[in-house]
Amino acid sequence: MTLRYPQVLLLLCAMTALPLAIAADEIKLDTPIGGWRSGAPGGEGENFSQTVNYPASSVNTPQGQANTARITGQIKAMPKDSNDPGKLIVNGVALPLKLDEEGRFDRPFSFPNGSNSVEVRSPDGQHRHRTQFLNTSGGATPAKLRVLLTWDSDGTDLDLHVITPDGAHIWYGDRVAPNGAVLDVDVTTGYGPEIFAMPAPIKGQYQVYLNYYGGGYRSVSDDEEGDGESSGGQDAVQALTTAQVTVITEEGTPSEKMETFVVPMRAVGELTLVKSFSYP
């Protein structure tokens, strides 16, 4: 068979690939970069705990944070007057991504050993950028059990609490347990993530709790309350916050298992048992 118009075929192929190239250019991902990399020796510069300030405004990546423990870049194709977060997908787990007015983002993140994928999407879902890399974590022991918490509102703080089989309670007030369990990331200013990790999980029963610590308020005028009249006053109305908890075992191995739970959190001070499970 002879192609009569090979130039036309090549042009059609180029036109098909062009939108994908343009979409990738609209999102700049500075870190992580693709390829093979090692984490900072001994975790140097990999800080995850956020400063607690209320009312919270935005996630503040600690000064001097190692590039091996952060996700940074910019979404150039930001819709006008949009306050919506972007979407961050790390190893198949979707997280809201806080953006500044120019679409920039900078978030601390604790990556597990092995193959990792990071994808960033614009708030309208029209643009995306993805990278893949192999992480060796500077010789650190990989976590066989991880619990990730995110939520869908800014200016709020949900806290992850995990009870291990030996009775240890890991939370922001006690982030490192003698059994090796740690709270790697504790973000206090909206969206999360908070990440619990345990390199050598103890056999037995684990319990995962969520606490609605604070924030989540907005001001509304009287006429938004449904009476049809406005007196010009304002009342504090607490927004519903929806949390997502993902439990991952044997991450990055052929035996990996992942389970995700969606939990509505309605009131400050609320403590909810999300999941009780046995390991292994």
CA distances from 4 to 1, 241, 254 (A): 9, 60, 49
For residue 217, what are its two tokens? 């308020």
* In a domain? residue 104: yes
Nearest to 170 by CA among 179, 158, 183: 183
* In a domain? residue 254: yes
Could you list the residue range(s) of the whole structural domain that residue 270 is in?
A: 27-38+45-279
- DSSP characters for the chain? ---S-HHHHHHHHHHHHHHHHHHHHTEEEEES-SEEE-PPGGGTT---BPP--SS-----PPTT--GGGEEEEEES-PPTT----EEEEETTEEEEE---TTSEEEEE--PPSEEEEEEEE-TTSS-EEEEEEEE-GGGPPPPSEEEEEEES-BSEEEEEEEE-TT--EEBTTB-B-TTS-EEEEE--SBS--EEEEESSPPSEEEEEEEEEEEE-EEEEEGGGGTSS---S-EEEEEPPEEEEEEEEESTTSTT-EEEEEEEEE-STT-EEEEEEEEE-
Phi, psi of 46 (to 5 degrees): -100, 85
- Mean pLDDT of residues grouped by 10 in the chain (280 residues)? 50 46 74 78 46 35 70 86 88 92 88 90 93 79 91 90 98 94 82 92 98 69 47 52 96 91 93 96
Pairs from 220-223 (Cβ < 8 Å, separation ≥ 24): none
With beta carbons less than 8 A apart as the criterion, state whether 148 and 245 touch.
yes
* In a domain? residue 134: yes
* In a domain? residue 80: yes
CA distances from 99 to 59, 85, 104, 107, 150 (A): 10, 6, 5, 10, 16
* In a domain? residue 194: yes
* In a domain? residue 144: yes
The amino acid present at 50, given as its one-letter code, is Q
* In a domain? residue 20: no
The amino acid present at 95, given as its one-letter code, is L
* In a domain? residue 4: no
Annotate 214-242 with b (16+ C-beta within 10 A) or e (fewer).
bbbeeeeeeeeeeeeeeeeeeeeeeeebe
Question: How many domains are contained in the chain?
Answer: 1
CA distance 198 to 181: 4
Give the predicted TM-score (pTM) of the model: 0.76
Q: For residue 112, what pLDDT is reported?
A: 84
